[in-house]
Structure 1
């Protein structure tokens, strides 16, 4: 997380182009994205070639250009899908009936599943490991994939503070600390291959424990006592 706010300066994603595709074309587009994800994981974004992706997916280079434009268009499409999937976890925080100890557990379980997905690992490797070499991709992902998460978490913690459900000074600082505490280690380990989607059960248990530790610092004492009981 960072102090950056969504600026919009990097514009809309250059991913999937607005072209009409039949059923077969949609299947081919999906195969291109799946194969691109695999190739990016194996070779890295810099060394991946469109020819490698087409050879694995089938179809033609002309079709790939028509649907995605180029390699950058492919990775933008991968990022865009991952951002939407990650946001589905945040959607669980919208239910005002759920207390924080239920809402945060449910949301983070969904979010960490996406963090361990091949698509998200590709995104993180590009923006974290190769961010200096590909600043436009890095900044677009931070503007559209990270900053909005921080804003939504900040809004959630602000509502919790206002309602008295959470005791904290700064919702924005709480959002930043929550994200790094709950997801930071998993992101780093997924980058170096220490954990993957095959370890989802263990990672979800670790995530739940991290949420529990965070809640001990922000829940009113009466709620914490009841939760422990």
Structure 2
């Protein structure tokens, strides 16, 4: 069970008219996520989700396939709301490459402090351990798009002389591993005093900045 938070669909999702099918899709996702967070993925039945969201079990199967499909759809929605476009959010016109990356670090720290993030990733890990295909799909759909985004940024910097990065994809993996590894493990295991702050992460990144001539 997670602490009460504002539901992202109420705060972060772009507003605007949607079709009845899209509204039904979102209503089912909202109900499923709320129940998964409140009583656990394994203890939540599809019948409960339908009762909370309205509609029918047939519609749920049509849109998501099964409960695992629902969990995956919730994860993809979370990715779209919180992660895509987070790397190259320039906070000032004259921001340096280091400023851009440290801005991302601040957003990443905030993300890992979210009970929703931790609860969702615990469910994904648990289900992934039971089903390798689900684990691979989760990796492809949540992690690899983020690697691609960072790689594209590093490729741009290499092409314009802002950094000396010979393998942008490998550098992206290294960057994300450096900043996320400890935070992910500590939060997933509930080790609150093991969380790194921005200064500690900056210290860890100094060899990365130096090696790739990022300034």
TM-score by length of 1: 0.64
Shift of 1:68: 3.6
- Name which of 35, 39, 51 aligns with 2:47: 51
Shift of 1:146: 0.8
Q: 1:72 to 1:129 in 2, by over 3 A?
A: closer
- Count matched residues: 194
Q: In the alignment, is residue 148 of structure 1 matched against residue 145 of structure 2?
A: yes
Is there any run of 5+ residues in structure 1 with no aligned partner, and where? 1-18
What is residue 20 of structure 2 aligned with on the other side? Answer: 21
Q: 1:217 to 1:66 in 2, by over 3 A?
A: same
What is residue 212 of structure 1 aligned with on the other side? Answer: 202
- Name which of 130, 134, 151 aligns with 1:137: 134
Post-superposition CA distance 1:144-194 (Å, at most 9, x none): 211121222233234334444335564333322221221122222332344
Cα pair 2:89 2:100 within 8 Å, conserved: yes
Whose relative contact order is higher, 1 or 2, with alpha carbons under 8 Å and at least 6 apart? 1
Shift of 1:142: 1.0
Shift of 1:77: 1.7
Q: CA RMSD in A?
A: 3.8
